[in-house]
Structure 1
Amino acid sequence: MEIKTYSYRFAEEILQHHHFIDAYNELLMVCRDCPVPLYKGKSQNQQKLEVIQQIMNTYFFLRFKSLGWETEPFATPDTSVDSLRSDFRKSYVNSETGEIVLTIQIEVEFGNVASSYRNYFKFQLSFANTLTDLCVLIVPSYVLSTRIDSGVSNFEKTIREIPSAKLSVTVPILVIGLYDDGSTLWNVKEEVTEDLKVLKGDSRKTYGSHCTIVQSYIDALYMNRRTHRLN
C-alpha cells in the first residue's frame, strides 16, 4: 500500500521527534501492510464496488492489538453505556523516568463520510479531557474509497476540511491516506473463498472464520519478513 500523510497542528513533526519516531514508524508500517481485499462482483448493482472493507477493518484491529494498542478505549471520562469509544489508543513511556510522554488515539474510517465529523468530535473530547495528546485518522484515498462503497470518507476530502475547523479542533492530527499501488492486492475470491458472508464476517457464525482468514494474511507478512532477514 502506498501512503500519503497530512499533518494538522504539527502532528507529524511531533511524531518524527526522536523520542516518538518508533511510534511513527509503527503507524506507517501497519498502514503500508494493509491489504486491498478484492472480490469482483461483490455488488450486483454496482460492479465497481470490489473491495471488502470488513477485512481491512479486521486487519487493523488484529494488527494494532498485537502491537499492544488498547482496542475500543473510551473517548471520554464517562464510562456509561452511552459513552463514546475510539478505535485504538496507546501510551508511550519514558524508559528512564517511567512517565507517559505521549498518548496516541486512532480512528480507522472506511465508513460514510458523516462518520469523519464524529471522529473529529471524539478526538477533541479526548484531548480536552487529557485522554490523548495526538490523534491519527486512517482513511482510503478517493479512488480506493469508490471501490469500497458510495459516500465513503477519503483522504482528499479530509485534508480539505480539517483546516477549516482550526478554531474548534485543537488536537494535533495525523491523517494517513491509503493508496492502492498493487503491492498488497489480495484476491480473496480466488485465493481464499467465494463465500462472501465468511469474508465479511458480519455474523457470529462467520466472524471466527473471517478473523482466521485475516490473521493468516498477517502471519504471512511476519513469515516473509523473517525469511527476508535470514537471507
Structure 2
Amino acid sequence: MADLPDTLLNGYRNFMNNHFAHETARYRELADIGQTPQTLVIACCDSRAAPEIIFDTAPGEIFVLRNVANLMPPYTPDGEYHAASAALEFAVQSLKVKHIVVLGHGRCGGIKAALSPDHAPLSPGDFIGKWMSILAPAAENVIANTLMTDSERHTALERISIRYSIQNLRTFPCVDILEKKGRISLHGAWFDISTGELWVMDKETGDFKRPDIDDPFVIPAPAAGQSAS
C-alpha cells in the first residue's frame, strides 16, 4: 500500500477523477511548453489561506511563494541559503512576472509569535523567532500602543507586515529597476479567514479597502444563463 495518509490518497483520487479529467489538455500543454504565470503571490503557509483557492486560479496561472507570515526579507547577498529570495529571483528574472502580490491573512500564527517575543521558542533553533525578527521594529511599536486591544494589535501587525514585505521587495535591484520602468507592479492584500473578505492595499495611501464590484480589476460574474467570454 502506498505510504501516504488516506485523506491525501482520497483527495488525489478525487483530483484525478474530477479536476484532472477536465483539465487534462491544460496540464499536457503546461508540461510541454512550461509555465508562464503573470503573477507571483507571496503568501503565508497557513493551511487556511491558500491563494490558489482564494483567487480561484487554474494550473499555471500564479506562481506561489509561501512561508510563515508571508514575509519577504530584505536583499542580503551574503552567500547563505535564502529560499524566499531564490523564489523571487526565479519569478522575476526567469518567469518575468508582471505583478507581485503580498497576501496576508487574519489570525496569523506567525504574527502572534511576533507579538509575543518573550514566549519560549518551539525548539532550540528558534527558527520562527529568528524569521519573525524581520518584523521586530514594527512589532515593538504595535506592542507599545496600550490603547489597542490584543485583536486590534494582531490585525494591525498583519497589515503592517504586508507593507513591510513590499518595502523589502524594493531592496532587490531586479524588482526596483523593473518597477521604476513600469514593467512590474507590487500589490498588497489581506484575507479574513472568518468572513472570506479580501481587503486590498491602496498603492497611494497604504490603506486597506474592500474592493467594489465596480472596481476596474474586478470582473463581475456572468448573469444566470449567460456564459463568460
TM-score, normalisation: structure 1? 0.31
Query: Taking CA–CA contacts closer than 8 Å with sequence separation of 6 or more, which of the two structures ends up with the larger relative contact order?
Result: 1
TM-score, normalisation: structure 2? 0.31
The structure in which a higher percent of residues are strand is 1
Structure showing greater Rg = 2
